[in-house]
Structure 1
Amino acid sequence: MKTKRHLKKKLFISGILLLPKVAGIAVASESLSITNTSTTLTRKEINSRIDTSRVIDLDEVTVVSQPKEHVRLRRQALSSNVFTDNELQSLQLKDISRLSSLTPSFIVPAYGSRLTSSIYVRGIGSRSGEPAAGVYFDNIPLINKGSYNRHFYQLDRVDLLRGPQGTLYGINSEGGLIRMFSKDPMKHQGTYVSCGIGTGLYSNAEIAQYHRPSDNFAFSAAAFYTGQKGFFNNINTGGNADLSNEAGGRMRFMINNGNRLSMDIMTEYQYTNQNAFAYGEYNNATGHFSNPSTTIMSGYKRQLVTSGLHLSYRAPRFIASSTTSYQYLNDMMQMDQDYMPADYMRLIQMQKSSAVTQEFTIRGNGENKWMPVSGIFLSHQWLRTDGPVYFGDDMNAMIKRSMLGGLTNNPGIPQNVKDMLAGMTITDNNVPGVFHTPQLNIGIYHESNLNLNRRLKATLGIRYDFQRISISYDTRSQFLLNMKMTMPGGNTVPLNRRYTSSLNGSAEKNYSQLLPKFSLLYSTDNSGSNVYVTISKGFRAGGYNLQMFSDIFRTEQGSLGAGLMQMAGGDMNVEHTPEDYSNINNTITYKPEESWNHEIGTHLNILGNKLHADIAIFHTQIRNQQLSVMAGKYGYGRMMINAGRSRSYGMEMSLRGSAADGHIKYGATYSCTNSTFRKYTDGENNYKGKRVPFIPQHTFSLNADYCLNIEGSKLIKSVTAGADVNGNGRTYWDTENNFSQNFYAIAGVHVILDFGKLKANIWGRNITDTRYNTFLINNSADGTSRSFAQQGNPLQIGTDISIKL
């Protein structure tokens, strides 16, 4: 009897280890966790997975540590998508902008650099200001949005959650949440090497080592390089306008003291150096793209350090967690702000940011009727921004014309003075500035999950969030006015006068928010299918718009007028009154944006678990909407205000299926979003009913793989052929809805050859060479309305090879 029981136990364990191969999942056996903090697979569930036509829940296949959640995503009352390591590799998903192309209602346009990471979810988002979605990396909240768009490598999984996640995740998760998880050295073993090459001189290389010396200790080290020469030439400066090089590395150490205490230490560094903002002139009537042609080559450099310590203690009735992090960002952006060969304006922005976070969480352990989770979160960010703006010769000539106004035609002004003014020049015109903008955030939260009966579950949550934002600024506008005065004897005397306008001030605002959440989820069967309803509140943080100081000074210079006569007698230093500072502080400050989200959805496992369908219908009302407008009241140029309200409603759908005994796997997503202004006037125009810019009305994606197993071959084990297509539109680029990108679609293909330890992925993206805009801006720097667009990448083909040793 003992021998039989021992044999049965060995067979059961062997079946578990063979499960990924039997189910047709191309992951290492050690990456499948059978038991974890939130999921325990029963013998019946394991046996059900032997049917290779069934679809395996990705959230279950790649299990990750979740200190705040009790159950898997598809058993929660929310809309989400999960991407595993296999999908990230086969579809070449290397950052969040590529990832969003396969996610409904979740858009991260490629604006031309790693810095600009604008996120739009269900009609929430904007070009500037705070982000609409939070980003977590290995349970560490990324504080500075400049660190969001990073290169993906050696990841186990990425989650995208839609709808407000503020109850558990707090500030800036109004639209949703992105969670990235690196590979766990406790589950992965060995050496991973990969390299790739493609058109545009794309190149990529990775190496990673995972080692587990004992049952209680494991560590990993990984490094990467990626780069490209690019596709778009700057015809004025010469060179590729989208050339880029990136490199970095990560180390991770994990210690488990039995089943009670665990420690996870991670640190990562990433370096980016890229030519950026390849915006070329675009003809809206003909759809013709011109190559970028700027005065200088725009660029972006960035150094990122992310370090974290996660501690977890498991008791019979609760699990307590602590996550501590330190984050450092040092970057520099250089941009030709008029995007033309003529020299109007250029900006250099340098940021140095340090942030620390601390979060304590405690949640119930086991399966009980009441499953609570409570926590406290603290973060502090120190941010220094140096943002000098330089006005070029063409802008100086425009400022001169604005300054002179009607002075040269005034009959009361002597002719020699008119001649002097007509011959004057402006040089050394720039706006240096140093800005300190520290931010403090404190959050206290609780969420209760109540199993009302065997099928019905209610979730009640509340969070109190406190935010303090501060600014101190030391900036000035300065230029040299060069004139020649004719003396009574006919001689000319040069006059060089210095103009200076300085602003040195500070401001501080405190905001507090209560973020409630309520949901009901009803399980319709025993396979995991359910329907749900959720009501939740979200918000985006307030802040300061630093770049508008150059507009303030530009307006002052243009209205100088008769003050030019004063400068004939000496240098000018503009004084500012307390009322000026009050107006400036009110102008640069914008308050938090608030929203209420109402959602009805379902997660279905149908056709004998051969198809997973996730469908959601949402309605979102936004108040104090953050909008970038012209400051007509004070005459101070652009600013972020809270003058608008909007409404978004729509639906989103995700499908995942399997057929032909697991040889065919397919997926599809679709979303439609109607996002319009309900209240927004700028003093001259009423935009009620206009579409909110940058929000696609429709998004969709389709993908399918066919895997052919090569029986009896010692060389090759399988060949997988796949295709995918995704698209979106129409997308409006301005509040007037005058400029837009029509609906478009791009297609890709890939063939994966599996030789066992070696895999080769031959891929193509945008194989139809579709032309489309990812971003468009209208510029009138020279007095003529011109459009400049970031064009999507053309046809790309390449090969990636990966080896597991």
Structure 2
Amino acid sequence: MNINRLSVMAFFCITGFSVNAKVVFDIKNKPEVLDTSRIFDIDEIVVVSQPKENYRLRMQALSSSSFSRNDMSSLKVNSLCDLSTYAPSFSMPDYGSRLTSSIYVRGIGSRINSPAIGLYVDGMPIINKSALNFYTYQLERIDVLRGPQGTLYGQNTEGGLIRLYTPNPMSYNGTDVKLSIGSHFLRNIEIAHYSKINDRFAFSVAGFYNGCNGFLRNTTTGERADKINEAGGKTRLVYDSGRHLFLDFVADYQYVKQNGFAYGLYDADKAVTADPASNYQNNYRRNIFNTGLTVRLKEENFDLNATTSYQYLKDYMLMDQDYMPADYMHLKQKQFQNAITEEITIKSKNDIRWKWTFGMFGSYMWLKTNAPVYFGEAMTKPISDKIQNVMYSAIVGSIAQKMIAGGMPESIAMEMAKSIVDKAGGVSLDMAMTVPGIFHTPHFNLGLFHESNINITDRLNATIGFRYDFSQTKIKYNTTAQMDMIASVMGSEATYTLSSHILNSAKDNFSQLLPKFGLTYRMDNNNSNLYISVSKGYRAGGYNIQMFSDILQTELMNNQSNAMNGDYDVPHTNEDYEKINKTIAYKPETSWNYEVGTHINLPDNAISFDVSAYLMQVNNQQLSVMAGNYGFGRMMVNAGKSQSCGIEATVRGKAFNNHLSWIVNYGFTHAVFKEYKDSIKVDGKNIQCDYKDKKIPYIPVHTVGADIAYRLDLAGSKIESLTFGANLSAQGKIYWDEANSYSQPFYALIGARVEGKIGNAILTLWGKNITNTRYNTFAIDSSATGTRYCFAQRGYPVQIGFDVRLSL
């Protein structure tokens, strides 16, 4: 059998950090590595198509991080959460489910509604925030771009952009198998096959299963509160005519079923988080299917790219919203989404002084959310008891007044009236309350963009970009709050229903001009450079749906007396609906980012060094807070102005003829409110609070990530090499509320691994959080019980596992 070989400069090392290594690609058996000591960008070596950019990442006027396939293996990256802190200023905490995919970069982030960080997978934009957190496998590279990327990538990339790439079967062939087992019956299997049929056609297929029995137990239900099972498969088909036409089709399906939201009561004074204790076992199920087709026409002077994608999501969530053993309230939420996107770009390709890109982007998302809220006995009984007492007192008082009018002393009359009522059956009241709701929230987006890169001199490059972004968001809501009261009065029964039904719609249009300016100065022939940039970021406005139960509950409480004599439905006027629509709406968030930085390859290219400093000013900061008077659900509000500044640095290198490799990342983020006032309830009274200069919640002040590995070659042994590695992931301080009243101190997690290479197999013994550090990944306020409590999600304890990777 003939084996095709192609010698190129490529990236490979046992731990996966940047190194220029001469690689001989064996179409059947994978790359063979010949070590040198030079360091280059990962995006110089792991070749992927970039339909928009004319320069590699470290030659652009922006701060970025790239991770190769071996990086992800060394750091045990199975989701984007696992990259937290390994890219400076990047944090994606594990909030307890695949649904909650909050990503924070440079003081920008969002727990609900529109994301602040964009995500592209093989050129497809993933537009629903509920689909950002998924199992990542068989990836060739991940890019993390920090700072606004709105000019080329549009709205909701205000904090940055993440790009994921799968291996191209045209250049990567063979079969990969991975088996893992670990603590608490962590189990994992991945299988992938890549095949090049001929010079024009190649394909790949891959599948996985991942599961774990969980680490936290719900003390009320007895179940593991964080167990997970998920599986999926994907395929990629590539056609290359060899001259002008290139077709690339990808399809990816994943299903997850998990117990989630394992929040326990947090004692801020003792800094102790209890085990989860909700009476309902929180859980989440999700189906996602993403598919896309890229058509590329390669002409002599330009490339034309068109990417069309379809995205499907169907999920179900059960959440005990009070997180307590008593039954106060719980939510069942179902989402059903269909979305289509189309992006067309044309990019110059000749080595000329003016490099340009023009493009158009359009998307439409249909989203239906069915989110009924159920109120339990712990919530309804105090209300029914209050009404029951009022009814009892009124009946007893009426009977007593007649006796007093006949000349009986008041004290005796009251006692006799109570006796009469009690003997006749007394007064009792049972209550049931639900808030069903269906919400349609379609969203349309259109963007027109251009970017020019002009070589002013051989070393100085100017970047100028503009994007016009238009979006339309709509909401159609049909929701009801219903309180059924079954009253038994002195042997007679009656049922009264108090209800409030709201049915309406609203829409809003938003448009923005998103400019970008940058200067890059190349300092030497190794592409070391200095840069400055100014860019505008933008996050779309929209409508809250989780706060409707709070609105309707307020209406029921204000109309209790109207239901004492029979059924009553709260009427609504046009003015009421205008008030509701204003209450549920929030404005777009905009920001300006000012940045200076450098990408340096030190002498002999043994070390690369990246550093950046930035200032980001944000207007109409979108902030997730507990809804209204009762705190039933979360809502997005605009918090006025905020400011974020910081420093990001990465240094990586190799030594001892590439046997030692290392990387260190550090990010400092100072994110504070500059204008934000809010009203909170204390002892039933509204009090004005000014949060000026308070730290923005959920943003780690410091992020630190590091990895070091040493490879020991064993000549003449069945074990070809042993690699010893260790890594560090640290972050903090993280404030959990706007008042900065409680927080997570700085903490560090240490991991270690030993890898042995035997032929086509790599065996790895690994540990995560080997010091068993106790920390919280998330904390939240809840007033569902009538008292303000804090609940937190504990981080995972020490984990140990064993992997086997085979390349066939």
Cα distance in 1 for residues equivalent to 2:273 and 2:541: 37
Residue by residue, what CA displacement relative to the aligned partner does 1:673-711 show, whole Å, maximum 9, x if unpaired? Answer: 111110011141111111111111111011101011122
Instruction: Name the counterpart of 2:453.
Output: 449
Instruction: Name the counterpart of 1:59.
Output: 43
2:207 to 218, 223, 244: 223
Is there any run of 5+ residues in structure 1 with no aligned partner, and where?
A: 1-11, 33-48, 487-491
Cα distance in 1 for residues equivalent to 2:610 and 2:323: 43
**C-alpha deviation, 1:63, in angstroms:** 1.2
Instruction: Name the counterpart of 1:696.
Output: 700
Instruction: Name the counterpart of 1:522.
Output: 521
SS class of match (2:535)? strand
Aligned amino acid, residue 690 of structure 2: N
Instruction: Name the counterpart of 1:582.
Output: 578
Range with bigger deviation, 119-128 or 456-465: 119-128
CA 1:29–1:299: 2 relative to 1, 3 Å: farther
Q: State whether residues 701 and 732 of structure 2, in contact with CA within 8 Å, keep that contact through their aligned partners in structure 1.
A: yes
Would you say 1:155 and 2:155 are equivalent positions? no
Instruction: Name the counterpart of 1:208.
Output: 192
1:708 to 708, 712, 715: 712
**C-alpha deviation, 1:196, in angstroms:** 0.5
How do 1:133-148 and structure 2 match up within 5 A? 133-148=117-132
**C-alpha deviation, 1:424, in angstroms:** 4.3
Cα distance in 1 for residues equivalent to 2:632 and 2:736: 23
Cα distance in 1 for residues equivalent to 2:391 and 2:479: 30
Aligned amino acid, residue 472 of structure 2: R
Would you say 1:624 and 2:620 are equivalent positions? yes
2:797 to 774, 794, 798: 794
**C-alpha deviation, 1:198, in angstroms:** 0.1
Residue by residue, what CA displacement relative to the aligned partner does 1:193-251 show, whole Å, maximum 9, x if unpaired? Answer: 11100001100001111111101110011000001001001111111100100100001
1:755 to 744, 755, 758: 758
How do 1:165-176 and structure 2 match up within 5 A? 165-176=149-160
Instruction: Name the counterpart of 2:780.
Output: 777
CA 1:415–1:56: 2 relative to 1, 3 Å: farther
**C-alpha deviation, 1:107, in angstroms:** 1.0
CA RMSD of aligned residues (A): 2.5
Q: State whether residues 20 and 29 of structure 1, in contact with CA within 8 Å, keep that contact through their aligned partners in structure 2.
A: no
Instruction: Name the counterpart of 2:595.
Output: 599
**C-alpha deviation, 1:413, in angstroms:** 6.1
How do 1:388-787 and structure 2 match up within 5 A? 388-400=372-384, 414=398, 423-486=427-490, 492-565=491-564, 568=565, 570-629=566-625, 639-683=635-679, 684-713=688-717, 715-787=718-790
SS class of match (2:274)? coil
Cα distance in 2 for residues equivalent to 1:81 and 1:92: 17
Cα distance in 2 for residues equivalent to 1:234 and 1:577: 45
1:250 to 229, 234, 242: 234
Cα distance in 2 for residues equivalent to 1:138 and 1:229: 32
Cα distance in 1 for residues equivalent to 2:600 and 2:387: 67
Instruction: Name the counterpart of 2:364.
Output: 380
Aligned amino acid, residue 677 of structure 2: T
Q: State whether residues 443 and 463 of structure 1, in contact with CA within 8 Å, keep that contact through their aligned partners in structure 2.
A: yes
Residue by residue, what CA displacement relative to the aligned partner does 1:24-79 show, whole Å, maximum 9, x if unpaired? Answer: 789984499xxxxxxxxxxxxxxxx9772322321222111110111110011000
CA 1:791–1:631: 2 relative to 1, 3 Å: closer
How do 1:73-88 and structure 2 match up within 5 A? 73-88=57-72
1:300 to 274, 284, 292: 284
**C-alpha deviation, 1:559, in angstroms:** 2.3
Residue by residue, what CA displacement relative to the aligned partner does 1:444-478 show, whole Å, maximum 9, x if unpaired? Answer: 00000001111000000000000000011111011
Residue by residue, what CA displacement relative to the aligned partner does 1:768-787 show, whole Å, maximum 9, x if unpaired? Answer: 00000000012233333322
Cα distance in 2 for residues equivalent to 1:340 and 1:631: 19
Aligned amino acid, residue 559 of structure 1: N
CA 1:643–1:456: 2 relative to 1, 3 Å: same
Q: State whether residues 290 and 309 of structure 2, in contact with CA within 8 Å, keep that contact through their aligned partners in structure 1.
A: yes
SS class of match (2:550)? helix
Q: State whether residues 669 and 702 of structure 1, in contact with CA within 8 Å, keep that contact through their aligned partners in structure 2.
A: yes
Residue by residue, what CA displacement relative to the aligned partner does 1:707-727 show, whole Å, maximum 9, x if unpaired? Answer: 1112233x2221111000111
Cα distance in 2 for residues equivalent to 1:332 and 1:13: 49
Cα distance in 2 for residues equivalent to 1:434 and 1:298: 21
Cα distance in 2 for residues equivalent to 1:520 and 1:284: 48
CA 1:269–1:356: 2 relative to 1, 3 Å: same
**C-alpha deviation, 1:409, in angstroms:** 7.1
2:293 to 289, 295, 309: 309
Instruction: Name the counterpart of 2:77.
Output: 93
1:335 to 316, 319, 334: 319
Aligned amino acid, residue 135 of structure 1: L
**C-alpha deviation, 1:414, in angstroms:** 3.3
Instruction: Name the counterpart of 1:46.
Output: none
CA 1:156–1:635: 2 relative to 1, 3 Å: closer
> TM-score, normalized by length of structure 2?
0.91
Cα distance in 1 for residues equivalent to 2:736 and 2:723: 39
Residue by residue, what CA displacement relative to the aligned partner does 1:141-188 show, whole Å, maximum 9, x if unpaired? Answer: 001111101101110001100000000000100000010011111111
Aligned amino acid, residue 298 of structure 1: N
Q: State whether residues 631 and 784 of structure 2, in contact with CA within 8 Å, keep that contact through their aligned partners in structure 1.
A: no
**C-alpha deviation, 1:592, in angstroms:** 0.9
**C-alpha deviation, 1:14, in angstroms:** 6.9
Aligned amino acid, residue 733 of structure 2: R
Instruction: Name the counterpart of 1:9.
Output: none
CA 1:111–1:633: 2 relative to 1, 3 Å: closer
**C-alpha deviation, 1:347, in angstroms:** 0.4
Aligned amino acid, residue 514 of structure 2: L
Aligned amino acid, residue 484 of structure 1: S
CA 1:24–1:678: 2 relative to 1, 3 Å: closer
**C-alpha deviation, 1:412, in angstroms:** 11
Cα distance in 2 for residues equivalent to 1:73 and 1:602: 12
**C-alpha deviation, 1:615, in angstroms:** 0.4
**C-alpha deviation, 1:423, in angstroms:** 4.7
Q: State whether residues 400 and 558 of structure 1, in contact with CA within 8 Å, keep that contact through their aligned partners in structure 2.
A: no
Range with bigger deviation, 639-648 or 542-551: 639-648
SS class of match (2:553)? helix
Residue by residue, what CA displacement relative to the aligned partner does 1:726-772 show, whole Å, maximum 9, x if unpaired? Answer: 11111000001101000000000011111121111111000000000
Range with bigger deviation, 652-661 or 778-787: 778-787
Instruction: Name the counterpart of 1:274.
Output: 258
CA 1:138–1:477: 2 relative to 1, 3 Å: same
Give the aligned length. Answer: 769
CA 1:526–1:245: 2 relative to 1, 3 Å: same
Instruction: Name the counterpart of 2:414.
Output: none
**C-alpha deviation, 1:259, in angstroms:** 2.7
Cα distance in 1 for residues equivalent to 2:470 and 2:373: 34
SS class of match (2:47)? coil
How do 1:107-118 and structure 2 match up within 5 A? 107-118=91-102
Aligned amino acid, residue 162 of structure 1: R
Q: State whether residues 165 and 177 of structure 1, in contact with CA within 8 Å, keep that contact through their aligned partners in structure 2.
A: yes
Q: State whether residues 613 and 656 of structure 1, in contact with CA within 8 Å, keep that contact through their aligned partners in structure 2.
A: yes
Range with bigger deviation, 198-207 or 407-416: 407-416
After TM superposition, where is structure 1 displaced by more than 4 Å over at least 4 residues in a row? 12-15, 17-29, 401-413, 415-424, 629-638
Aligned amino acid, residue 292 of structure 1: P
Instruction: Name the counterpart of 2:408.
Output: none
Q: State whether residues 455 and 522 of structure 1, in contact with CA within 8 Å, keep that contact through their aligned partners in structure 2.
A: yes
SS class of match (1:427)? strand
Q: State whether residues 8 and 22 of structure 2, in contact with CA within 8 Å, keep that contact through their aligned partners in structure 1.
A: no
Residue by residue, what CA displacement relative to the aligned partner does 1:305-344 show, whole Å, maximum 9, x if unpaired? Answer: 0000001111111000000000000001110000000001
SS class of match (2:691)? coil
**C-alpha deviation, 1:637, in angstroms:** 8.7
Cα distance in 2 for residues equivalent to 1:31 and 1:584: 64
